[in-house]
Structures are given as C-alpha cells and as structure tokens.
Copies of this chain bind each other. A is one copy, B any other.
Amino acid sequence: MPQELLDGRSSDPALMGWMKGNPPPPERRIVPSRADHMRFPMIRWSYSNMRQFLPTVRIAASGKGSPLPRATRADVAEVRFVPTGQADPIRFEESLVEGFTDGIMVVHRGEVVFERWFGVTGPETRHIAFSVTKSFVGTIARLLIDEGRLDPSNSVSSILPELAQSGYGNATVAHVLDMTTALDFSEDYGDPSSGIGAYSAALGLTPRPEGYAGPRDLCSFLAGIRGDGSAHGAKFTYRTINTEVLAWIIARVEDKPFATVLSERIWQPCGMLGDGDLIVDEIGTPFAGGGLNLRLEDLAKFGEAIRTGKLPQGAIDAIRGGGDPAKFDPVRYPQLGGWSYGSQWWHSHNRNGAFSARGIHGQTLWIDPAAEMVVARFASHPTAANGANDPWSLPAWAALAAHLKP
C-alpha cells in the first residue's frame, strides 16, 4: 500500500511489524543512518523507542512516585464532537485511531477516567514528547524566576557571554521565554533547507550529509544565529532554538547539567513513575526543545502538578498568566484565534482558562482548570505540524471539558 494512503489503522506499527524478529527482516528495519526513525510510517514505532536510535541521558525519578488513581468512566469514550470543518459528529474513542494516537489519558479531578493504548505504545513506554519538552523548560525557568534565581529582564549575554555576538546578544531572558526574539531562523518542518534542518544536523537528530562541515553541537549552532534586524519583543515567533537557549541559561544559572535540574525541579517533586530519557548532542547538550521521552502517565502527572499547585504557586500563576495575544500570529495559526504563547506554554484564553504543551506529530498536554481536567496524548501523526490534527483534537478537548465540567 502506498505510504500516503496509510491511515491510523493500517499504519499500526504492531500490524506493520516494524523491528519485529531477531533480527527484523530487512524490509521491516528502522535504520537511523537512513533517517528512517524520522519518517512515516516508521515513526509509529520509533517515537516509542527513541533511545534505541540516539544518545540519551537519564532523567532520574525518585522511585517513590505513585500511579494516579483510576476511576474509569465508560461515558468518556462516547463523547461526541464535530471536527473543525466537518459536518458530522464523531465519537471521541473513534477519533483516536483517526488521529494516529499512540496513547491517551484523560484525568478528571486527579483520577484517570479514560486511558487507551495503541500499536507498540504502553504504560512503560517512553514516547518522545517533542516540543511538549519546551513547557518543562519554561516551567523550570518560571520556578527559578519565582525564587529570584533568574531575572527575566536580564540580557541573555549577561548570562551566556558566548551568545554576545549572536542574534541573542541584545535579547532578554523574557524574550527567549516567550519566544519574542527577532531572529533570522525559519522553522518550517516541511522545508529541508529551513533553519530547523541545519539545527537537526548540528544536534545529530538526523544523519549529517556527506562532507558535513557545520556545527556539531547545539551551543556552537546557537552562537551562529543572526538577528533579523528588527527589535526583540514585538511579536511571538515559534523557534525551537529559543528553548535551547533557555535550557542553556538554566544550566548556567544552576551550574548543573539541565538533566539534573529537570530531575530535581520536576521529576522528583511531581513523583514521576519512571525515569525519562533526554536526547543529547555529541557533547551531551540536551535537546531541550524537543528531546524528552517519558511515560504518558508521567506527562499526565506533570499536568496535574501544574493544575493542582503541587509545584510552587508563584511560578504556576506566572505560567497561567499566559502571553500577550496581541503578539500572536493569527495568519500562521488560523485555528488558534485569540491564543497566546507565554512561558513556553500555549494559552487558549478560553472561558475555562485552558492552556497546553504541544509537540509535533500530535504530542499534547492539555490542562483545563475550570473542568478540572488534564489530557495527555502521544501520537505519531504523519504530518509534523499540529495544524493537521488540531481540527480533531481541539474540539475533542472542548467536548470532553464540557462533558466533565460540573
């Protein structure tokens, strides 16, 4: 079957038999030197097994975390919603396979009311979170700001002199945190010549081309970023490199590897059930913009910790304040009208005050304070950009919230 015709059901990685057998037959192998691990439909398997393809470091759990209580509700599967641009409603459960979901957990008032697993993904799987990782980084930055260890008005170059000559030279921590830097760097996942392609080669996420002479670590790459000539702070532009700079700032301020800070500041306080895997470059720099792999329930636990104030309230309040909707780009995000980006989180500013962490290919952490609901979802959608699955997922979260809200 031509790959472009594979849907959520026919691309099931267990069904397709990726990496099955000892060794797997040649036609079922996912080979990182061919970049198979980043191509559909192989991503349906690889996104649940990234440490097998790339170097990683351990994000240490305390070993004392407990599972979220279960209170399964059969009615959740039956919630119906109309996908954006469609005429007919669809059952929530039915929408999951359509959306190339690998695992999903709906938590209401701290209890897991709905949970489904697909393909090769299960409770112990460490699935890649992609840019959901950014919201972990932003949350740590907010914790440090709340403690007075980091000043958002400080210049990046006062903390990282290595970036003084780069486009970050005259940016502040706040510009980086809210992604309002003005840089000559494009992030188009469909364009191999975009900045994100060069970034991926520096990081080693994808194989480097023959004769590659570019940077071989993230810090060198970041030092080469130029400004776009305009002033920082005017508008939000989504650029993963901002998160790399933010994680670098955090490591420098704390004088510890970012992985250690992530364990101390998030993993242990949240009582995560298992270690996480964080992808690193050749010299151990974390892929903080998208390289976290974790258990789905641990993602849900992170959402619950934010929702219930298990992390310090000052930091949570600052996160929940959101970004400035006036700086948001309505042309680039037609489905996210009225939203903002702040503290590395996406804010809907809807009536329920819902905000979310979003990663390519459908990774989601959706926190709806009014509905007392958290949704954690891993997916391996064939299209990287979330515009492809938002028509299904955003109405789904809204319908779930309406159903569960008291």
Which A residues lie at the B interface, using CB under 8 A?
A: 19, 22-24, 29-33, 49, 51-58, 60, 63, 124, 126, 216-217, 219, 248, 251-252, 255-258, 275, 280, 282-285
Given contacts A23-B283, A217-B23, contact A32 B55 (CB under 8 A): yes
Whether A24 pairs with B55 at a CB distance below 8 angstroms is no
Question: Please, which residues of chain B bring their CB within 8 A of the CB of A22?
Answer: 248, 251-252, 255-258, 285
Partner of A55, one of B53, B124, B283: B53
Residue pair A283, B56 in contact (C-beta under 8 Å): no
Besides A24-B284, A30-B283, 5 other CB < 8 A contacts?
A: A22-B258, A23-B285, A51-B51, A51-B58, A52-B284
- Interface CB pairs A-B, < 8 A, 29: A22-B251, A22-B252, A22-B256, A22-B257, A22-B285, A23-B217, A23-B219, A23-B284, A23-B285, A24-B283, A24-B284, A30-B283, A31-B282, A32-B55, A32-B282, A33-B216, A33-B282, A49-B57, A51-B51, A51-B55, A51-B56, A52-B55, A52-B56, A52-B57, A52-B280, A52-B284, A53-B55, A56-B56, A58-B126
A53 to B308, CA, bound (A): 38
> Do B124 and A60 touch (CB < 8 A)?
yes
Residues in B with CB closer than 8 Å to A219 are 23
CB-nearest residue of chain B to A216: B33
Q: How far is the CA of A257 from the CA of B55 in the complex (A)?
A: 20
| CB-nearest residue of chain B to A28 | B283
A248 and B24 alpha carbons, distance in the complex (Å): 12
Closest 6 CB pairs between A and B? Answer: A22-B251, A23-B219, A29-B283, A52-B57, A52-B55, A22-B252
CB A107 to nearest CB in B, in angstroms, measures: 21
How many Å from the CB of A351 to the closest CB on chain B? 41
Q: Across the two chains, which residue of chain B brings its CB closest to A33?
A: B282
Q: Bound complex: CA of A19 vs CA of B23, how far in Å?
A: 35
Q: How many copies does the complex hold?
A: 2
Give Cα A33–Cα B57 distance, bound, in whole angstroms: 17
A69 vs chain B, min Cβ distance (A): 18
Which residues of chain B are near A284, meaning CB under 8 Å?
A: 19, 23-24, 52
Which residue of the partner chain B has the closest CB to A23? B219
Contacts of A33 in B (CB 8 A): 216, 282
In the assembled complex, which residues on chain B have CB atoms less than 8 Å from the CB atom of A217? Answer: 23
Q: Smallest distance from the beta carbon of A210 to chain B beta carbons, Å?
A: 10
Q: How far is the CA of A258 from the CA of B19 in the complex (A)?
A: 13
- B contact residues around A63 at 8 Å (CB): 63
Give every chain B residue within 8 A of A30 (Cβ-Cβ). 283
Inter-chain CA distance A175–B239, complex, in Å, is 58
Give Cα A256 to B19, complex, Å: 11
Contacts of A51 in B (CB 8 A): 51, 55-58
**In the complex, what distance in Å separates the CA atom of A29 from the CA atom of B60?**
23
B251 touches A31 (CB 8 A): no
Q: Report chain B residues within 8 Å CB of A52.
A: 55-57, 280, 284
- Inside 8 A of A283's CB, which chain B residues have their CB? 19, 23-24, 29-31
**Chain B's nearest CB lies how many Å from the CB of A379?**
22
The closest CB in chain B to the CB of A251 belongs to B22
CB-defined contacts of A60 to chain B, threshold 8 Å: 124
Minimum distance in angstroms from A234 CB to a CB of chain B: 30
Q: Which residues of chain B come closer than 8 Å to A58, judged between CB atoms?
A: 51, 126
Q: Report the nearest B residue to A29, measured CB to CB.
A: B283
Closest to A65 in B: B63
Identify the closest chain B residue to A56 (Cβ): B51
Q: How far is the CB of A222 from chain B (nearest CB, A)?
A: 10
CB distance from A374 to the nearest CB of B (A): 23
Instruction: State in angstroms the CA–CA spacing of A284 and B20 once bound together.
Output: 10
Instruction: Name the distance in Å between A205's Cβ and chain B's nearest Cβ.
Output: 13
